[in-house]
Amino acid sequence: MNKITRRDFINGTLMAAGASMLPFIRTSGAILDKFYPLYYPPSLTGLRGSHPGSHTHSHARAWDKKSDWGPTTELKETY
């Protein structure tokens, strides 16, 4: 009988564990949505979609070449 090396044992074990998780990974989205349907990350941070005038400024800049946006506020934030 051949000896099984430690590396072969660990690789085989990890392959079996990974293969056993594949069916759950494929269906986990559908399952988790049923457990907690209100989990939607943007709504948790207050983002709920675009407001009616959200594209007005970008379109004015691109199509009308507008560059005078009025007074601005200097923020002390860094990113």
pLDDT of residue 64: 78
DSSP state of 79: -
pLDDT of residue 40: 66
What are the pLDDT digits (tens) for 10-65? 999 999 998 888 776 666 666 666 666 566 666 666 666 677 777 787 777 778 77
Residues 6+ apart with CB under 8 A from 50: none
Reported pTM: 0.32
What backbone torsions phi and psi does residue 70 show, to the nearest 5 degrees?
90, -165
Residues in the chain: 79
